[in-house]
Amino acid sequence: MTSSLPTPTTAEASSASSLSGDASSERRGWLRPALAVGGLAVVALVAGLGVEGPVASRAVLIGGACLVLWLTEVVPPFVPTLLLLGATPVLMGPLAADYRLGAVLAWGVDPVLVLFLGGFTLEVAAMRHGLDAAVARHVVRLSRGRPRLLLLLVMGGVAFLSMWMSNVAAAAMMLAALRPILQATPVGAPLRPALLLGVALGANFGGMATPVGSGPNALAVSAAGAYSQVTFAGWMALALPLTALMLVLGFGLVLLRFRLGGRLELPTQEAQPLTRSGRRVLAVSAACVVAWLSEPLHGVSAPVVALGATALLFGSGLLEREDLGRVDWSTLLLIAGGIALGRLMEHSGLVARALAGTDFGAWPVAARLGVLVVAAAALSALMSNTGTAALLIPLAMQLHPSASTPVLVALGCSFGIPFVISTPPNAMAAGEGLDSSELMRLGIPLMLAGCLLVSLTGPAVLRLFGLP
């Protein structure tokens, strides 16, 4: 049956699509602020009517407002931290000395912040001297025009970069290296979505592998410290095999979805050897990683090693004064705020009140941990993963107090990957033309598989490496 309506021209269709996209974007632009306003109203209502006592009500007001702002991401991530550190002494300081400014500032001071400072400094040095770009270019060259090998190397390469630097920067570097191939790929060819999925999955899963890989990892290391020290090597002993397994599983699903074969005509790129300063940064970075991994042998803690690496990079002139401004201070403040929020919930007794009367203790341990891991993944799929960890880790520690619990919750946060809005690498891949349905088609099975794997095997593996 044919239609009598005129067929729109390509330009008209493009214009209509653009207008539709703008309208959709405008609607989405109102969603988060609306959720934030609604969430803040609920917090105010609960603080005023739902809890008894001035300490609990004011703690609900402050902590709830910070969580709403973190989870909806309507303000920069460091703003709720500043709100928490400022509002707590003002509203709760008159009630007890534990809530005065000095004590509140001490809540957010943790050695894990120094560890992350070292990681961010190494990232700045790598970007300044081209180490990250060199890794991305080398990955493309090593594939030798074989699409499956290229996909595998892309996923492994971007995951390796995400272990030590921001997954946003890692994904950006890899996409830049792949852009000539993506531009030369015909429309509709399976290689383009396959590579974009590989970049997104590699960047998302790579952050699990090291303590400096993501914000939730930092909160987990800090929370676990009350029971047992989580060393750099200890974390990687669990998380690195898990990361590799998830990458292999993701690689297999991508190949099942997109039949890759044949040979590629790789763009000719001039080899760009590292400069002398780049080789020095590589040496410092390698020495730092070796020192982190060998902590059980020499006894120097990972944060102290990170401080030494930071001092060496700036003191040797490999980084300049202006590079200090390129360090990700926003994320450091976000992590400090998450730690401080946990202390506020602990000191005010909010967590104990929230769980009073529940019978989770009768549940099997695997069931309790499974619920926590799935909840972490589900919330992180829709909201900030660090905000999710700040919310769930204090609750999880009350439900199952052990050093392994926050680690499992943090890993669960890394599985929240199925939607375009779930992570920045997903959004970057979608911006390059990846359809959101492709992310969901692979992301949901990977999220469920990862949660199941961590829930069933995580506690046993952590006990094997000395974390109860």
Mark the ranges of the chain whose per-residue pLDDT is less than 50: 1-25, 27
* pLDDT of 271: 63
* pLDDT of 357: 59
pTM above 0.75, yes or no: yes
Size of the chain in residues: 468
* pLDDT of 20: 36
User: Which structure tokens are listed for 289?
Assistant: 């990683």
User: Which structure tokens are listed for 372?
Assistant: 């926590």
- Please state, in angstroms and rounded to a whole number, the distance separating the CA atoms of residues 249 and 236: 19
Cα–Cα distance list, 148 to 24, 31, 73, 137 (Å): 36, 40, 37, 17
> By the 8 A CB rule, do 170 and 180 touch?
no
Could you tell me which of 258, 99, 264, 297 has the C-alpha nearest to residue 182?
264
CA–centroid distance for 382 within its chain: 13
> By the 8 A CB rule, do 274 and 131 touch?
yes
**In the chain, how long is the greatest CA-to-CA distance?**
80
- DSSP one-letter code for 411: H
- Please state, in angstroms and rounded to a whole number, the distance separating the CA atoms of residues 22 and 204: 28
* pLDDT of 12: 34
Neighbour tally for 454: CB within 10 Å = 29
CA–centroid distance for 234 within its chain: 19
User: Which structure tokens are listed for 455?
Assistant: 């829930």
* pLDDT of 173: 86
Cα–Cα distance list, 390 to 51, 161, 217 (Å): 21, 25, 11
* pLDDT of 360: 67
User: Which structure tokens are listed for 467?
Assistant: 């974390």
Give the DSSP H or E segment for 137: helix 131-142
CA–centroid distance for 335 within its chain: 12
* pLDDT of 6: 36
- Please state, in angstroms and rounded to a whole number, the distance separating the CA atoms of residues 382 and 14: 30
- Please state, in angstroms and rounded to a whole number, the distance separating the CA atoms of residues 183 and 114: 41
